[in-house]
Amino acid sequence: MSRTYIVDNGWEEMVEHERRAMMELAGVSIFLIDLYNTYCDKHYIYMLMELCTGGELYEHLCQQEHKSVSVGAMRFYSGCIFEGISTMHSYNIVYRDLKPENVILDESGYAKLVDYGLAKKTMRTYTVCGTPEYMAPEQVLSRGHDSGVDYWALGVMMYEMITGFTPFVGYDQMEIYGTSCEWWWWWCICVCCFVGCFVGYCWLILESCGCSVF
């Protein structure tokens, strides 16, 4: 990453948050990208990370018919993501930017979380940040949020993976915010239904990897 580019965009704090989160979480879960070391010179900052050759989950979805996958595949990816964000939360780190572009696949097809630029070690925060389609109402309304926003975003991703589009859409950012806040109660019901569908299947997948969900 270019030092000049980081400074010009005011990203110094974001990059430092990302580095700290990745260093703390390195090696603790197979569903989180590993950071091996960091380096710097006069012009650039370097992060040496684990190689994952499967590409972004977003790219994988775009290659599918209707940009969606089967319910079984959705359960599999959701289980991997659930384990990843749950591990983050056990370290009091809130991810805050869960979306298909920030999930990559390894050579075996397992999903890993990457890009910790918005991750923050906190129990509760009031910063408005994230990608509009995946932001929970409490983020939009600046009422304070915690790790629950990551599970909201996971619910949005689950819906997207099997339908090919996100549930909250609009012509601009403000309209998307409006629909997510207006229909939050409906979405909570849908998330509960989705969770009931996939959680048992996730246990089997994760146990096969030697992981413990609870």
> Where are the domains positioned within the chain?
55-208
Residues that are catalytic: 97
Taking Cα atoms as reference points, which of 114, 97, 118, 131 lies closest to residue 56?
Answer: 114
The domain 55-208: what is its CATH number? 1.10.510.10
Q: Is residue 94 within 8 Å of 119, Cβ to Cβ?
A: yes
Angle at CA of residue 71, ends 67 and 76, nearest 5°: 95
> E-assigned strands of 76-199?
93-94, 103-105, 111-113, 120-121
Output the tens digit of pLDDT for each of the chain's 214 residues.
Answer: 899 999 998 888 888 888 889 999 999 999 999 999 999 898 999 999 999 999 999 999 999 988 999 988 998 999 999 999 999 999 999 998 999 999 999 999 999 999 998 888 888 888 778 788 898 888 777 787 888 889 989 988 998 998 898 887 767 777 677 677 676 555 554 555 555 555 555 555 555 555 544 4
Residue 125: burial class (beta carbons within 10 Å; 0-12, 13-18, 19+): middle
In angstroms, what is the C-alpha Rg of the chain?
Answer: 17
Q: Cα–Cα distance between 163 and 101 in angstroms, integer?
A: 17
Is this structure's pTM higher than 0.85? no
